[in-house]
Structure 1
Amino acid sequence: MSQSRTTSLKSNAEDSSDNYEESVEISNTEKDLVEDRSMQILHCEEEDQNSAADEPEESTSQDIWIPPASSNIISQHQEVEWMTGDTLSQEEKLIILLDELEMILESDEYDDSLRKSLRESNPGYLKIIEKRRKDLLKEDHGIVVAGETSAGKSTLINKILQKRIFKAKLRESTSTICKIRNSEEVKIITERINGKLETITLTEKCNLETEDGQKLLRDTLEKLTDMTSTEDSKNFRSVDVGFPIPFLKGNTIIVDTPGIGGSGDLSKKLMEYLPNAVSFIFVVDVASAGGMQNDRLPHILRSIIQLQVEDEMPCFDPGEVIFITNKWDNIGKEEDSSDNDEKNTWEELKKEIKTSWPSVKEENIFKMSLIKVTPQKTNSSTEEFEKFQLSLRKIIKKNENIRLLQHLRFLHELLKNVIKGIDSGLALGKKSEKEQRALAESHKERIKELITKCKEEGTKLRENFRKIIENSAEEVYDYMSTGLGKDRILNPPGQMSLMDIPYIPNMFSEQIKARVQMYVQGVLQSEENQEKFLILKERVLAFYTEMSSDISEMENDWTEYSEGTHAVDVEEGSIVPYVAGVIATSPLWIPLLAIAIGLAFATLGVGIAASPVIAPVIGFLGRKERRQRIIDEEFEMCRSTIRSTICNHLESVYKELFENLIQKTINKILPRRIKSLEKMIHELSENRQQILANQETLERLSRKLKSIEQRKLEIQMSVESII
């Protein structure tokens, strides 16, 4: 679709129950297009409704900057172009379908009895359609560049942009998120913490093909993002800079973040941006890699897991994260160093990264010295950088299509429920009033049973979760209570016997606790322990599937009216609902949490104080007896508190995530489907005569919906063929 063919996209959405009225014009989306956006592509329509209801205020026209790919607003009637297929993008086609569906839902033909049932299954559906349409028009694809201060983030971004736009920093100074996007103009838009937008236009005086032009933009950005230059930079939520960047297409942006491990406020800004990310690039300084991997990465990882369970990062794939290990030119400079030193460091570093980020692919770990990357010279760093660019482009393309698939899932779910209501009205003509009453009474009893089963299963799952934790703690305690277990824990293979370690009182006690800690951490991270939680997760999903099948069976009793009925099956194709977010079915979930458990345990320790009786007693014992007494006392202190320690750690890692999974499946999604079925049965009973009189209208609506469904399937197949 050409720029000259830009037309307005209008919505007549007016939900009387919510007093909702909005017209979608290009001028009405101004602030949205530059605002720090959330990727809340939610299956759970209630959460989607909350996000849609919280729309930002409009901005003045001078404050707006519309990325090229987002300015193609399409109208509701593009049938001819749809048929040709060459002028419309998949996003634009999907917008047309949303428009057509919205027109049906607002029409007089779609009456109140149908709306009441749909509100049960899809609360606030008109607002959500509007939000989805806006998302399709202006969604940013954020590739976040993260790393410790002075790791080389700014240098990497400069290399990607092929311009020196950011100053390299040797200390913590970046104060805010900086978004970099492709634009015909050279323009900076700042958003203050209070939401105020300010625009700086540099197009006329900033030629980025010259050193002076790059310096002007670099100096301007430094004043806005460097807290050592001005205190005012701390008052910005984000700085959005645009200029011609051929590498970036559509709404893909690069996001520069404050250094990990700096002040709490700056690290918090990175964590707040997580929901917007579709991919990460971590820049690692090889000289301090261990510190970053062993502490900060798992914290980010666990935040991502939580966001995925909450459906706020459905497009993020932890396996597509990229690691740039930088500053290899600083390795091996010592006179006594050898090639083996660099090789050993590389292998050890890869191992540490894989331990801290278990889902990383080895081909996404790159080794280079960014300072040596240059188009004019062929060297190992330049070659690695070129490989990195290829990987990055693939990830960008993949994530764009995955995001579109999320919007298709929403349309699928809404369309399925709309069709269900229409089909139930058409099927009513095949039932006598007596048959309808009998079926309604039968289903009324089954619905009561389903509601009871949901409540009981929720209670059982929570009890089982607690039992798994307690059993894990008890197994460790029992093993520590045996002589064999004690000996193996305190004297593991490959380590010096405790009795042979040089005796330094405090260090000796710490060594005992460290060995107990190592054993416990190994147990918690073991596949056997992971399997217990995996089985519980599968039980949640199995219950959802079983209940879903029962509900679908009852729905079909009301919607099947002839051969060729096009009601959508619950498990149709790959557009099945994400039960509780992408992570619910991800095989990575449990292993990733196991890493989080181990690191939390290692960071916090086993919480054991030294025995208070050791000091006054050991003075009367011989050297060997003294050591053995210390070992026995310290080990007993560990053993006595180990059950509560393990329970606390397992709950801190797993409880919130499992509770969210149970809440979404058993306390929210299933009850919503049950209530929708209950409402549909009620409306069919109360409005039988009116529905029978409107059969022609329902047939007409059915044909329109079938057309939308078919075209939705075409988009879906096209998108899935690319992913």
Structure 2
Amino acid sequence: MVTRRQMSIDAQFALGEILDNDNQRKGKILEICTQIKKVLEKDKGLQDILTKEFGIEILNLNHIQKEIYDSECPIVVAGEVSAGKSSLINLLLGRSLLPVRQLASTSTICRLRNSKDRQIVLTDNDDKQTTKTFSDEKGGMEMFLEEHVGRRSKPHRYKYVDISLPIPILQEHAIIVDTPGVGKNKTGRLFEYLPNAIAFIYVINAGNAGGVENDDWLQQIIVHLTEQQKKGHLHDFKPETTMFVCNKWDQVQSNEQDEVFQFIVDKLKSDWPNFDENLQIFKLSAVQEKELMEKGSTSDNYNNFVSGIRTMVPITLDAKIVRYARKQTFLIEKMTDRILEKISTSQQSMIDKEKRRKDAEDRLQQLDRKHLNKDVMLKTQ
């Protein structure tokens, strides 16, 4: 029988393929960085010229390499309380890992990373950490999470829950971030991750009057992103790559689905810059998809969502690569210009030297002729 985890392979394969391609491109960027560093290490004079003309930042190749190597690439999942964020993440993972009924008042951020080891690290509000390791997949992680961040746990107890386990699709630097339900005093936690996000999935509770009727948080998010962009802190994130998932679609009456969907589309067109209803919005029921996967199938809605991942995530990753490549292109162009100037100066210097040598030879020849004429005159006398 085909298992739920096997059926989630489409989403996992899509993400894995995208991230693998991105890692290959990063590798090429790093190779170019290494070659540039070798050239500069052999020519300190060129380093000095570039530093004097453009500042030390232009030569900060170590920073670029560190940024490529170390920077995390978050797949950020947000939405109102009870919209079904954790259910959607569980669907992508193919297992019921995160508690689907967390406290409405929780401000905890859950971060999932790929690791060969199974481990959960809890960070409380005083930055004290508690680490728990697990040896197998017998449900221990799920029970531990339910106890500490589930419905029966104490509110506001933990700032972060870092979950490490084998998630091959995430590879080295990508992480899934399950943010607190957006609302009063919680939206700020979301803003910690958006600037570097490679994907932003906003989950709408479609079963609750369309899920966006009183949702002012979208406007708050846009205001914050606009401010960050003006400050130069928002390099790669593009609002038009956001994926809006209308979750709990099974709770919308069939005779109301067209009206509800159009209401959500109109709201997003009003609140979200450059919103494209053909690319950015998806109907889904995480609960129904779970049941379908257990039976060995998926819905067209789920397949459309996977197709959206394939379309949207590469756009942000492309923007990051372009930013790195532009820095290198600028540096290479300036290095080439200065090297050509040095060659030109050197060639001119050689021409000048040759001219001075010929002038000196001519003067010597003239002196020799004068001495010769003088000798002849003396002899004749």
Q: What TM-score does the superposition give when structure 2 sets the normalisation length?
A: 0.74
Is residue 201 of structure 1 aligned with residue 125 of structure 2?
no
Using a 3 Å threshold, how does the CA distance of structure 1 residues 232 and 355 change in structure 2: closer, same or farther? Answer: closer
- Residues 124 and 157, structure 2, Cα contact 8 Å, conserved in 1: no
User: Looking at both structures, which has the greater relative contact order when contacts are Cα pairs under 8 Å and sequence separation is at least 6?
Assistant: 2
Q: 1:122 to 1:395 in 2, by over 3 A?
A: farther
Q: Which has the higher strand share?
A: 2
Rounded to whole Å, the distance in 2 between the matches of 1:365 and 1:156 is 15
Contact 1:149/1:169 (CA < 8 Å) preserved in 2?
A: no
In structure 1, what is the equivalent of residue 244 of structure 2? 323
> Does structure 2 conserve the Cα–Cα contact (< 8 Å) formed by 1:252 and 1:396?
no
Q: Displacement of 1:275 after TM fit?
A: 1.5
- In structure 1, what is the equivalent of residue 65 of structure 2? 133
Q: Which amino acid aligns with 1:258?
A: P
SS at match of 2:339: helix
Q: 1:277 aligns with which of 180, 188, 197?
A: 197
Could you tell me how far 1:121 is from its partner in structure 2? 1.0
Structure number having the greater helix percentage: 1
Q: What is the rounded CA distance, in whole Å, between the counterparts of 2:130 and 2:320 in structure 1?
A: 30
Secondary structure class of the residue paired with 1:284: strand
**Pairs within 5 Å for 1:623-702:** none
1:11-46 deviation line (CA, Å, top 9, x unaligned) = xxxxxxxxxxxxxxxxxxxxxxxxxxxxxxxxxxxx
User: Structure 1 residue 192: deviation in Å?
Assistant: 6.3
**Residue 103 of structure 2 contacts residue 150 of structure 2 at CA under 8 Å; is this kept in 1?**
no
Counterpart selection for 2:141 from 211, 214, 217: 217
Whether 1:145 and 2:61 are equivalent positions in the alignment is: no
Which among 164, 177, 180 is matched to residue 258 of structure 1? 180
Distance 1:391 1:248, change over 3 A: farther
Match of 2:293 in 1: 375
CA RMSD of aligned residues (A): 3.3
The reply on whether 1:156 has 2:156 as its aligned counterpart is no
Q: CA deviation at 1:147?
A: 0.3
2:219 to 294, 298, 302: 298
Deviations, residues 611-642 of structure 1 (Å, cap 9, x unaligned)? xxxxxxxxxxxxxxxxxxxxxxxxxxxxxxxx
Q: Deviation per CA, 1:670-694, whole angstroms, max 9, x where unpaired?
A: xxxxxxxxxxxxxxxxxx99xxxxx
> Relative to structure 1, is the Cα distance of residues 341 and 117 closer, same or farther in structure 2, using a 3 angstrom cutoff?
closer
The 3 A distance-change label for structure 1 pair 101 and 159 is: same
Cα distance in 2 for residues equivalent to 1:311 and 1:421: 29
Counterpart in 2 of 1:121? 54
- Residue 355 in 1 paired to residue 287 in 2? no
Which position in structure 2 is the counterpart of 1:342?
257
Q: Secondary structure at the match of 2:229?
A: helix
The alpha-carbon deviation at position 388 of structure 1 amounts to 0.5
SS in 2 for 1:132: helix
Q: Is the 1:178–1:241 contact (alpha carbons within 8 Å) kept by the matching residues of 2?
A: yes
Describe the shift of the 1:120–1:271 C-alpha distance in structure 2 as closer, same or farther (beyond 3 A): same
Change (3 A) 1:292 1:180: farther
TM (norm. structure 1) is 0.41
- Give, in angstroms, the shift of residue 103 of structure 1: 3.1
SS in 1 for 2:274: coil
- List gaps (5 residues or longer) in structure 2: 1-15, 17-22, 354-381
Q: Which residue of 2 aligns with 1:28?
A: none
Partner SS for 2:164: strand
Question: 2:282 matched to which residue of 1?
Answer: 366
Shift of the 346–377 alpha-carbon distance from structure 1 to 2, 3 Å rule, reads: farther
Instruction: Kindly indicate whether the alpha-carbon contact (under 8 Å) linking 2:111 and 2:162 is maintained by their aligned counterparts in 1.
Output: yes
Judged with a 3 Å threshold, the aligned counterparts in structure 2 of structure 1 residues 291 and 416 are, in CA distance, closer, same or farther, namely: same
Corresponding residue pairs, total: 327
Q: CA deviation at 1:228?
A: 6.2
Please state if 1:312 is matched with 2:233: yes
* Cα deviation digits, residues 672-721 of structure 1 (max 9, x gap): xxxxxxxxxxxxxxxx99xxxxxxxxxxxxxxxxxxxxxxxxxxxxxxxx
Q: Which runs of 5+ in 1 are unaligned?
A: 1-67, 69-87, 208-212, 333-338, 433-687, 690-723
Structure number with greater Rg is 2
Q: Is the 8 A contact 1:285 1:327 kept in 2?
A: yes
Change (3 A) 1:223 1:421: farther
Could you report, residue by residue, the CA deviation over 1:393-452 in whole angstroms, capped at 9, with x for unpaired residues? 3333443343222211111122222333322222324668xxxxxxxxxxxxxxxxxxxx
8 Å CA contact retained: 2:109, 2:161: yes
